[in-house]
Structure 1
Amino acid sequence: MQNTQVILSSRPVGVPKPEHFSIREVPVPDLDKNQVLIRVSHWSVDPAMRGWANDVPNYSPPVAIGDPMRSFAVGEVMASRHPGYTEGDVVEGLLGWQTHVVSDGSNIGHIVTETDLPRSYALGILGLNGTTAYFGLLDSCAAKPGDTVVVSTAAGAVGSAVGQIAKVIGCRTVGIAGGAEKVHQCREEFGYDAAIDYKSEDVASAVAAACPDGVDCYFDNTCGPISDAVMTRLAQGARITICGTAAITEWDPLPVGPRVHRQLLVARARMQGFLIFDYKDRLAEARTALAGWLREGRITVREHVLDGPQAAPGAISMLYRGENTGKLIVKVA
C-alpha cells in the first residue's frame, strides 16, 4: 500500500506557492502495538498554514523541509492495534497532507461523533474554524446580546461562523469582505445586518455609517488597513480579538502601521490575541453547541472543495488571493 504525500520541498517567504511543494509516494509501514492506520478523506486548507511553512517566530515550530505539510485532516481508521480506537472510527487531527497515516494517537484530536453531518464539517464548522469562531467571539470577545459585532474576512470559514454565532446570541452584525459576491454572501447566506466591500468602499466611512453607536466587538482576521479603519469607531468598553493577520504577507521587517494606543485608551478597550489551541480542553463544548445549531438550521455552511492531492500545492496561495467561496478543503478520497 502506498501513501501519497504533499511535502514542503523548499522554504517560502510569505505565502507558500505551488513551487514550494512536491508530491511523492512512500510505502505505508506495518502497524506496531498501540498504533492505528488511518485512510484520510479530506485535508483542510487554513490561513495558519502560511505561518507553519515559514521559518519565522510562531506559536509552533515550522514544518521541516521534506515533511508532509502540516494540516488538519479527517479520515477513517482502517486497522487498529490501539485500545482507544476501533476499525471504522472517523477521526480528526493534525494528520497532514497525506493519504494514509500510521498514528500512535498523539496527532489525533478526537473521534468524530456527529456522523449525521457531512464528514468534512469536522475540518470546518465543527473543527478549527467553527471552534475558533465560538470561543473567539463568546470567550475572548465576550460578546453579549445587543452588541454590535464587526468581523473582517466575514465570508470566510471563520468569519462566516462568527457572524452567525453572533446572530444566534442576539447581536447586531457587520461584515467586511472583498468583492460584490462575498458581500452578497454575507447578507444573504450568513445573515449579516450590514456588509462592507473593502475593495470598493472607504472602510472607515462605511463602518461609521453601519455602526452609529460604535463597535462593541471586533473580530479581527486581517490586521492592516481594514483594522486601522475599524479602530476609529470603537465603543466604550470595546473588545478586540486578533485571530488572524491575512493582510500582512511578510513579517521581516516587522510591519509598522498607525498607532492604536489612543483609541484603546479613550474607549477603555481591550485587545487580545487568540489561538484555539488554548481551548483544547473545551472543544467538545463548542462542537456540541455548533452541531445543535446546524441541525436546527441556524447556521449555514459553504464549502469550496478541490479534488485530489495534485490540487493541494496551490491551495494556500489560492486562499490568500481570496479566490475560495467557502471553507477550502481538498477531497483526497
Structure 2
Amino acid sequence: MKRVQYLRYGAPEELRLDEVKQPDPERGQIRVQVRAAAANPMDWKIRRGEMKALTGFRFPRGLGHDFAGVVEAVGPGVERLKVGDEVFGVTSIRQAGAFAEYVVADEKNVGFKPSSLSFEQAAALTIVSLTAWNALVAKARLRAGQSVFISGCLGGVGRSAAQIAKMRGANIVGSCSASGREEALALGVGEVVDYRAFDIALYQRRFDVVFDTAGALSLSQCGAMLKRRGMSLHIVPTPAKLFGCLLPSRHHLVFGNPTPQSISGVAEAFDRGQLVPAIGRIVPLCEAISAVVELERTGSPKGKLVIAPMQ
C-alpha cells in the first residue's frame, strides 16, 4: 500500500510517498481502508519535531491523524465494530499514518459514520470538532444563556466551536478578520470583532467562557474577560499556558482526544444539521505532499484540506 511518511523529524523535504507493508491490527485495533483524511496544523508541527516528547523517535513515521473509511479487518478483542462498517475517527498521536490507503487505529478512537455524512466531510469534521466539543461541552458544560468569546472563530476549531456554542444556546462573540464578518454571522456568532482592532477593555468581566482557539490571548487577558466563575480554554500550549493551566485555576488546556460521548455527539450534531465542516480542497494521495506543504507555508485554502486516497 502507499503511505505518506518520513524517516526523521525535519523540513517538508523529509516527506515521501512510499510503498509499505499493509499494517495488521493488534488487540483492540481495526484496519480501515481510508476513503478520506484531513490535514491539521498538528501534522506539520509533529513532523518538525515540536512534539517529540509525545510522539517518540520510532521511524518511519506516517503523516496524518483524521480519517474516514471502511473497516477492512479487526484485531482480537474488537466487539463494537465489524468488517464493512463505515467509520470516522483518529489515530493516536504516536500511531499517525492516516495519509495512506490503509490505516490502523484503536477501536475506542473510532465511531460510526452517519449515512448523511460523506467520507470527505467526516474526515474534515474529526479533530477540530472533537476539540471544540471537549472544550465547550465536556469541560465548560456550556449551557443556554451563557456568554462565550471565541478567538479565531473562522479557524478549524473556532468554526466548530461557534456551531457547537450556537447549538447549546449560548450568546457568542467571536474574533476574525474583518472580511470574514458575514461568514461568522452565518455560523451563529452574534457579535463579530475584527481581531486587528480588538480592545480587551471593552469586554471586561463579560464572559462565562473564553475559548482561545487562535492562541492570541494571554492568561491575564482571558482572566480580565471572565465573569467571577468563568473559565478560559486553550488549545495552543505555549510554555506560559502550560505552566498556568497546570496550576489550580480557571484556565484549562483542552485537546481533541476522542471519547465515545464526543464522537457520537459530533456525529449526531452533523446529522441534525447543526455542525457542518468547511472543505477547502480535495486532492488524491499522489498530490498530498505538495498540498500539505503549500498549506503549511501559506495557510491556504480556506477550509480543510482533504486527502482522498481512492481518487
Q: What CA distance in whole angstroms lies between the structure 1 residues aligned with 2:29 and 2:169?
A: 46
Given that residues 279 and 303 in structure 2 are in contact (C-alpha distance below 8 angstroms), is that contact kept between their aligned partners in structure 1?
yes
Q: CA deviation at 1:214?
A: 1.7
Match of 1:288 in 2: 264
1:192 is aligned with what amino acid?
V
Unaligned runs of 5+ in 1: 249-253, 262-267
> What's the counterpart of residue 251 of structure 1?
none
Question: Residue 332 of structure 1 aligns to which amino acid in structure 2?
Answer: P
Partner of 1:272: 252
Q: 1:150 to 1:324 in 2, by over 3 A?
A: farther
1:311 aligns with 2:287: yes
Partners of 2:285 and 2:20 in 1: CA distance: 14
SS in structure 2 at match of 1:192: coil
Other structure's SS at 2:144 match: coil
Residues 299-333 of structure 1 deviation map (CA, whole Å, 9 limit, x = unaligned)? 33322233012433342662574323223322222
Q: Deviations over 1:35-74 (max 9, x none)?
A: 8653211112123224432434566224644322242222
- Is the alpha carbon distance of 1:70 and 1:289 closer, same or farther for their aligned partners in structure 2, counting shifts above 3 Å? closer
| Aligned AA (2:231) | R
- The letter of the residue matching 2:214 is T
SS at match of 2:43: helix
Partner Cα distance (1:178, 1:214) in 2: 22
- 2:164 is paired with a residue whose SS is helix
Contact 1:239 1:270 in 2 (8 A): yes
Matched, 1:202 2:203: no
Q: CA deviation at 1:193?
A: 0.7
Q: Matched residues in 1 for 2:26 and 2:225: separation?
A: 58
1:173 paired residue number: 172
Alpha-carbon distance in structure 2 between the residues aligned to 1:29 and 1:289: 30
* C-alpha separation in 1, matches of 2:134 and 2:26: 37
- Which residue is equivalent to 1:329? 306
Contact 1:47/1:320 (8 A) holds in 2: no
1:243 maps onto 2:235 in alignment:
yes
Contact 2:172 2:190 in 1 (8 A): yes
Please say if residues 236 and 269 of structure 1, whose CA atoms lie closer than 8 Å, have aligned partners that are also in contact.
Answer: no
Scaled by the length of structure 1, the TM-score of the pair is 0.74
Contact 1:5 1:25 in 2 (8 A): yes
**Quick one: which of 34, 37, 45 aligns to 1:43?**
37
Tell me how far apart the structure 2 counterparts of residues 41 and 56 of structure 1 sit (CA, whole Å): 29
C-alpha contact 1:163 1:192 (8 A) present in aligned 2:
yes
Task: Give the match for residue 219 of structure 1.
Answer: 211
Letter of the 2:118 counterpart: P
Identity %: 17
1:110 Cα deviation from its structure 2 partner? 2.3
- Residue 66 of structure 1 corresponds to which residue in structure 2? 60
Q: Which amino acid aligns with 2:274?
A: R
Q: Higher Cα Rg: structure 1 or 2?
A: 1
C-alpha separation in 2, matches of 1:326 and 1:242: 21
Give CA deviations for 1:170-218 in whole Å, capped at 9, x if unaligned.
21111122451x3332112x110122232xx322x2x554x47522211
* TM-score, with length taken from structure 2: 0.78
Aligned to 1:100: 101
Q: Tell me which amino acid in the other structure corresponds to 1:304.
A: G
Residue by residue, what CA displacement relative to the aligned partner does 1:137-193 show, whole Å, maximum 9, x if unpaired?
12322323222211122112221121121122221111122451x3332112x1101
Distance 2:38 2:236 in 1: 17
